[in-house]
């Protein structure tokens, strides 16, 4: 008689997919609200069940092995089928998660982050609103958002700190400024908190400034910087050294003698409505930490 094939354990498959998506045992453990040791044990059990290594791990990198690259497609399909089966057995409608993300935080990694959320919870309807941190914080307090990822402002100290963000002054390489002349700024429209932060430090340093471009979002401000219209205060994470617009811009704060911009915190405010939403928000937090700390 042929020996029965032992089925795969869903929890170990989910752990493997999260480790691969986050390229981190730590982030996967955060998403599952467990320990790194427990995640490592799940992966070990899955690899023993399959008979081959799924991940190659070094002190600095976690990446798929050649067999892992093949297996992950089947692993995702298995998790999606599992979620659909559970959904078909439930009388509850599709869940919706409304997330507000500050324009200064979203950046070009937003598609990757949404992809990770969709892989984690394929039956989830994700609604994303991009706005200023101040507007999103107010919308969260009014109960209009399930979660808000914003830049910390004022005296508010609640929420989960995802990362500490550093800002710098950026301009096109060909952009010229003569000390003593009015500094030409590209900013977002008030009441943008980063704009307020930038003009405050300029005023405190006695540096005269004028706005020559006011954009409706960070990408528009980046385009103005790339076009050589002026200098802008931008998070170093979204500066050109990190593959993001404004293309070709350089940090010019020290060169121009501009005052240092204070560090800020990126905060997650969350209000999970059920256990599954709480799990998804943990995955969201882990995903943002992984991207923001790169």
- Using left for φ > 0, alpha for ψ between -120 and 50, and beta otherwise, residue 206 falls in left
Indicate which CATH number applies to the domain containing 54. 1.10.10.10
Distance CA 136, CA 138 (A): 5
Q: Is the Cβ–Cβ distance between 129 and 100 less than 8 Å?
A: yes
Indicate which CATH number applies to the domain containing 227. 3.40.190.10
State residue 181's pLDDT score. 84
82 & 105 share domain: no
Residue 187 belongs to domain spanning = 167-262
Alpha helices in the chain (DSSP H): 10-22, 25-31, 36-50, 66-88, 103-106, 110-120, 133-141, 193-204, 218-226, 253-256, 275-292
243 & 288 share domain: no
Query: Residue 140 corresponds to which tokens in the numbers above?
Result: 């969260």
Q: Give the position of tokens 């101040």.
A: 134
State residue 264's pLDDT score. 84
State residue 139's pLDDT score. 93
Q: Which residue, among 126, 95, 104, has the nearest Cα to 238 in the 3D structure?
A: 104
203 & 254 share domain: yes
Angle at 52 between CA 84 and CA 57, to 5 degrees: 90
Q: Which residue, among 218, 215, 230, has the nearest Cα to 175 in the 3D structure?
A: 230
State residue 130's pLDDT score. 87
258 & 269 share domain: no
Q: Say how many domains are in the chain.
A: 3
256 & 271 share domain: no
29 & 73 share domain: yes
State residue 93's pLDDT score. 56
Last residue of a domain, one of 88, 118, 141: 88
Last residue of a domain, one of 57, 88, 119: 88
State residue 249's pLDDT score. 81
State residue 240's pLDDT score. 44
Q: Is the Cβ–Cβ distance between 39 and 291 less than 8 Å?
A: no
State residue 163's pLDDT score. 81
Q: Which residue, among 123, 163, 120, 127, has the nearest Cα to 32 in the 3D structure?
A: 120
One pLDDT digit (tens) per residue for the chain, 294 residues: 444 457 888 889 888 988 888 888 888 888 888 888 999 999 999 998 888 899 988 777 888 999 999 998 888 888 878 777 766 555 555 678 888 988 877 766 677 777 777 777 767 788 888 888 888 989 999 999 988 998 887 666 678 888 888 889 999 888 887 777 899 999 988 778 888 889 999 999 999 999 999 988 888 888 889 888 999 998 876 554 444 445 678 888 888 889 999 888 888 898 876 677 777 788 888 877 766 655
State residue 1's pLDDT score. 40
Residue 5 lies in a domain: no
């Amino acid at each position: 008689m042929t020996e029965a094939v032992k089925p795969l354990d869903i929890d170990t498959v989910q752990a493997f997919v999260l480790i691969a998506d986050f390229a981190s045992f730590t982030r996967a453990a955060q998403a599952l609200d467990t320990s790194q040791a427990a995640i490592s044990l799940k992966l070990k059990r899955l690899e023993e069940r399959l008979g081959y290594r799924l991940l190659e791990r070094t002190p600095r990198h976690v990446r798929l092995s050649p067999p892992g690259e093949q297996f992950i497609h089947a692993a995702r399909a298995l998790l999606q089928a599992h979620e659909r089966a559970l959904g078909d057995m439930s009388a509850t409608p599709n869940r919706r998660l409304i997330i507000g993300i500050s324009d200064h935080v979203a950046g070009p990694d937003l598609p990757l982050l949404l992809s990770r959320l969709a892989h984690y919870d394929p039956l989830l309807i994700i609604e994303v609103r991009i706005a200023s941190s101040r507007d999103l914080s107010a919308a969260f307090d009014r109960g209009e958002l399930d979660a808000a990822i914003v830049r910390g402002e004022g005296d508010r100290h609640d929420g989960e700190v995802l990362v500490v963000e550093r800002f710098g002054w950026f301009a096109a390489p060909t952009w010229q400024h003569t000390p003593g002349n009015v500094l030409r700024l590209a900013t977002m429209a008030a009441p943008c908190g980063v704009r307020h932060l930038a003009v405050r430090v300029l005023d405190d340093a006695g540096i005269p400034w004028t706005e020559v471009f006011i954009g409706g979002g960070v990408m528009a401000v980046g385009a103005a910087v790339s076009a050589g219209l002026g200098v802008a205060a931008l998070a170093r994470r979204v500066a050109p050294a990190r593959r993001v617009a404004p293309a070709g811009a350089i940090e010019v704060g020290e060169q121009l003698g501009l005052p240092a911009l204070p560090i800020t915190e990126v905060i997650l405010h969350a209000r999970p409505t059920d256990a599954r939403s709480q799990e998804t928000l943990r995955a969201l937090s882990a995903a943002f930490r992984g991207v923001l700390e790169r």
